[in-house]
Amino acid sequence: MIRISSLSIRRGPRLLFENSSMSIHPGQKVGVTGGNGTGKSSLFSLILGEIAADDGDLKLPESWVIAHVAQETPSLERSAIDLVMDGDHELRRLQRELEVAEQSGDGLRQGELFAQMEAIDGFNARNRAARLMQGLGFVVSQENLPVESFSGGWRMRLNLAQALMARSDLLLLDEPTNHLDLDAVFWLEDWLKQYPGTLLLISHDRDVLDRVVGGIINIEHQKMELTSGNYSAFERVRAEKMAQQQSAWERQQREKEHMHRFVERFRAKATKAKQVQSRIKALERMEAIAPAHVDSPFHFHFIQPEKLPHPMLTINHAVAGYGDIVVLNDFSITLNPGDRIALLGRNGAGKSTLMKLMASSQTLLLGERSEAKHLQTGYFAQHQLELLDLQATPLLHLQRNHPDSTEQELRDYLGSFGFRDDRVMEAVGPFSGGEKARLVLAMIIRQRPNLLLLDEPTNHLDLEMRHALVMALQEFKGALVVVSHDRYLLEGVADQFMLVADGEAEQFKGDLDDYGQWLRSSGKQVEATTREGDGGDTQRENINRKEQRRLDAEQRKQQAPLKRVVARLEQEIEKLEVARSDLEERLAQPEIYEDGAKQKLKEVLQEKREVDQKLEDKEELLLTHYGDLA
């Protein structure tokens, strides 16, 4: 087991936590929570031997194999599936020894090694790695692609697959769902439930914590404490402790009453549709946990839009895509104030393309798109974090957009997003991903949008900020369309779901549990099809060879244009990567930051943002078409 005794850790002069003791038993699954900078990742570093304790100690069995997710992946020419298989160190050791034995002609040693390979199911390792990759969103045709062909987010998925491939006793996962879509989160959740070893999971996804772990290590107020039960149980315990303080109890009552009124108002106008009933249950759950968050540093509200046109946006028979590449066919929708839609679908199905279509005509190839006169769109996407002026402060970002507001008004507003005191005057360059995301959200909300498009808004946000965002979105008067892998967010704000699949976007009549079942059933169908194609099934044996050759030739003919598109995209991506590398080299030169080069710096930063956006669009298209070729 893991034994922690009187443990204290500092980072420089700052005390993270002190005098903390606990025991974690073999096979136990424990979530690790706490605000940014409280010491969660430092705890993992201590376990991995990367840092030493300042006081006390942490002990675990010397024989334990520890698996964790690498934070970086070098640009490699070797295949993605080989990188994943590297996670099984015992397999790689036996393979190396077997190669030596074969070269030396040592038959006896070969026999011993074959027996050991059989014992660890080593001859099935490639299939095991392939299943891990497919569960995390990769398609079969991507397995043999070089690692260097994948973007940063997809390399992180490869790193995660490599960690899951390990034959480990202890698995350390730090925000594993950040780069995953909802379908991959469902799969990972099921995998972690079956994992036989000890799991320590840092996560800001309360649904994953609720479904996977049986204990919570929470770090706050420079203390680290272990509570039994899932995250919801921890919230109840925390609320009870806080209620013992009179001021906290009074705030709890106000927060609870606020949520109670909202639940009753929503219930009064709700229909019996399954999605709506699921949302009522989610709201009732939030009503119960609201008291646990009264000391959150984040309390903000959406400013009432100036106009709420009806309809706001109309799209008729749209074909969406990029150039001559079609991603979505014959899509129609009318958005009105109060609409709350969540987009579901596998990675690469076209959710982001659809969001871009709603935001502008950028991806519209055919059809009609009509905006209301007073439409004010707030569009949050991950690439917008890169559009921040790294030299400017949070206050300056808002002052540029709202020159008529006083400095104190903007300081108060930023304070509701966790930017207080000197923090509002610091350059955003060194900010964490969560801090940049909070700033972008603050800028969007300040613009008083009446149509809000949120594409994975909770990436990098901690639990408290996610809760505050859900609470604020519940009172938003305009139309909302959201893509997210955070079920707490989806259940708390969405009244209807739209499934993006097979080039179409249609209403999904079930709830998120039904969507999980749909993913599992469709995944089984894909797996069954793959097995039939690989095994030379009876149906194929009944087709004579001549007919099979004709079918294969027809398939090659049909795929030829798509292969040409893929080849062209690969060339364009390669050119963009070279351009990005050149720009990064220019930004690494110290002279570009001198006072006389400010204009040049702005031009280079703008050029890099444009290249990054083009690269993201091309990579999304490439992954979609890899799936079509699979």
Query: So where are the chain's domains?
Result: 1-64+169-244, 81-167, 253-293, 313-510, 558-630
Number of helices (H), then strands (E), belonging to the chain: the values are: 21, 18
Provide φ and ψ at 149, rounded to 5°. -85, -10
Q: Does domain 313-510 have CATH number 3.40.50.1820?
A: no
Q: For residues 477 and 447, is the Cβ–Cβ distance under 8 A?
A: no
Which stretches of 139-287 are assigned E, i.e. beta strand?
A: 170-174, 198-202, 215-220, 223-228
Q: For residues 293 and 463, is the Cβ–Cβ distance under 8 A?
A: no
Residue ranges in 418-536 assigned as alpha helix (H): 433-446, 463-474, 487-493, 512-535
Poorest-pLDDT segment among 176-190, 237-251, 259-273, 423-437: 259-273
Torsion of CA 521, 524, 529, 535, to 10 degrees: -160
Reading the block at residue 145, the tokens are 């692609």
Average pLDDT of the residues in 393-406: 92
Q: For residues 620 and 348, is the Cβ–Cβ distance under 8 A?
A: yes
As to burial, measured by CB atoms within 10 angstroms (0-12 exposed, 13-18 middle, 19+ buried), residue 5 is: middle
Torsion of CA 202, 208, 213, 214, to 10 degrees: 120
Work out whether the CA dihedral 400, 406, 410, 411 comes out positive or negative: positive
Q: For residues 318 and 328, is the Cβ–Cβ distance under 8 A?
A: yes
446: left (phi over 0), alpha (psi -120 to 50) or beta: alpha
Cis peptide before 311 (omega within 30 of 0): yes
Q: How confident is the model over 32-62, as pLDDT tens digits?
A: 998 777 888 889 999 999 888 888 999 999 8
Q: How confident is the model over 183-240, as pLDDT tens digits?
A: 899 999 999 999 999 999 999 888 899 999 999 999 988 889 999 999 988 888 887 7
So what's the architecture of 1-64+169-244 in CATH? 3-Layer(aba) Sandwich (3.40)
Query: Is 313-510 the same fold as 1-64+169-244?
Result: yes
Give the closest residue to 195 by CA, choosing from 49, 29, 74. Answer: 29
Distance of alpha carbon 349 from alpha carbon 331, whole angstroms = 14
Q: How confident is the model over 109-141, as pLDDT tens digits?
A: 888 888 888 888 888 899 999 999 999 988 888
Reading the block at residue 259, the tokens are 């949520």
